[in-house]
Amino acid sequence: MSLRTFLLIAIILLMAGCGGTYDSYVSGLVTLDRKPLLRGTISFKPVQPGPTAYGLISDDGSFTLKTGRESGLPSGEYVVAVVANEPSVSKEEGALPTPGKPITPLWYRSTKTSPLKITVDSGSNEIDLELTSEAPPGYEQPKQRRRK
Amino acid sequence: MGKKLLLWKTREIEIISKIVASYFNDMTSTTITSRPYAFTAIGLFALLGCNDSAIKQDASVQGTVIVDGELATQGIVAFHPDDGGAVAYGTIHSDGSYALRIGQGQRNDLDNSKIYPGKYTATVAVTSPSSDKKEEIGNLREPSPRINDTKFSNKNTSGLMYEVASGRNIINISVERAPLDELVDAEKLEIDAAEDGQVLSGEHAPQGEESAEGESDAEEGVRAKGVEEEPTQ
């Protein structure tokens, strides 16, 4: 074994020792119709039972996933939902803000209807989410609630 | 309790009784002193001290709070144990995450503070970012309004029941916004008034910042009214 490979293995082992709770890390950019999405919430729900990981879309369109308070998530198959709304507005000082208008199309807003299926590998993952306002095939608009 | 102790500690009891017996053997049967009794008492106290049935404070809880699909940015989560006892709580950070603690928690590593495992009912108060405006008197920030439905802030109505196990727990909490009807009663009246005017005069849709849902509801309301009024015309 050469010194170089020995050092490489030593470094890898040291890095493994410093590892966090989760074996995978995910970050990336979100776009809607090729334009970056500048606000909103990303959720990665595992296909297998387990906790959902969340990420906040920052004002440059990037996101990093966290599970609870710690960065990262277990590797595996995930369904991804993206919920973004216009900022909520307070009409009066101190009054409850009304929710802003939705930005992301309805089918992306729930992991039950989202067409985004992502495989997260062990290690660092750079995952860009490209959303379109064109409904996925077979998607049915849910019936609108009648006013009582 | 006594039965359990006997089952667990048979060996200890054997040893103690041997010691006690040896004291009896050393002495004549007529000179019973308080010594054996004292030993028995010490033995029993020792057994009580070894009782490890108490629940260990060895569970950590982290998670994320979601309001109508969006991350909460501010507020408090509280976990009330169903059997009484210490309430665990955590503040919601700007990324929606929280970690529970009892009292001050583990001060150098708050995220890994330990609470007791068991059944809990959670309550949540998600608040909107506090305003920068300061009240004139006392120079305090104005209180920030709570966003979530009131029912999630009361342990009798929240319906957020969780079982916390020893070790790591990830508990994501999903709540709903306060119903819009309650928020903007006055605003709704305005919309209704505008709709009535619309049906009669056939003007364009009322202007205003309603959510998409509010708009579609308003449209449907107009249609329904139109149908109702047709026979009378």
| Dihedral (CA of A57, B110, B145, A146) sign | positive
Q: pLDDT below 70 — which residues of chain B? A: 1-13, 15-17, 19-53, 130-143, 180-233
pLDDT, tens digit (0-9, with 9 covering 90-100), for B63-82:
999 999 999 999 999 999 99
d(CA B150, CA B40): 58
As a whole-number percent, the residues of chain B with pLDDT over 70 amount to 48
Same domain? B172 vs B187: no
Interchain CB distance below 8 Å, A69 and B93 = yes
Q: Are A75 and A24 in contact (CB under 8 A)?
A: yes
- Please, which residues bridge with residue A56 across strands? A41
Same domain? B79 vs B166: yes
Report which DSSP code applies to B228: H
If you average pLDDT over every residue of chain A, what do you get? 87
Same domain? B74 vs B166: yes
Same domain? B70 vs B150: yes
Interchain CB distance below 8 Å, A68 and B62 = yes
* Tokens (6 digits) for B106: 């583990």
pLDDT of residue A145: 61
pLDDT of residue B197: 45
Same domain? B189 vs B127: no
Same domain? B111 vs B67: yes
Interchain CB distance below 8 Å, A51 and B70 = no
Same domain? B120 vs B205: no
∠B76-B80-B85 over CA atoms, to 5°? 130
Confidence category of residue A136, pLDDT binned at 50, 70, 90: confident
Same domain? B29 vs B43: yes
Same domain? B66 vs B174: yes
A contacts of B178 (beta carbons < 8 Å): 96
The class level of CATH for A22-131 reads mainly beta
CA distance B13 to chain A (A): 44
Neighbours of B92 (CB within 10 A): 23
Same domain? B162 vs B209: no
The parent domain of residue B45 ranges over: 2-50
Same domain? B101 vs B191: no
- pLDDT tops 90 at residue A91: no
The structural domain count of chain B equals: 3
The CATH number assigned to the domain holding B67 equals 2.60.40.1120
d(CA B6, CA B15): 13
Q: Could you tell me which residue, A42 or B144, shows the higher pLDDT?
A: A42
* Tokens (6 digits) for B86: 């210490």
Would you kindly state where each structural domain of chain A is located, as residue ranges?
A: 22-131
Interchain CB distance below 8 Å, A89 and B172 = no
Query: Which of A42, A43, A69 to probe by mutation at the B interface, max B CB count within 10 Å?
Result: A69
If DSSP codes are grouped into helix, strand and coil, which group holds residue B6? helix
Structure-derived torsion over alpha carbons of residues B202, B207, B212, B215, reported in degrees to the nearest 10? -30
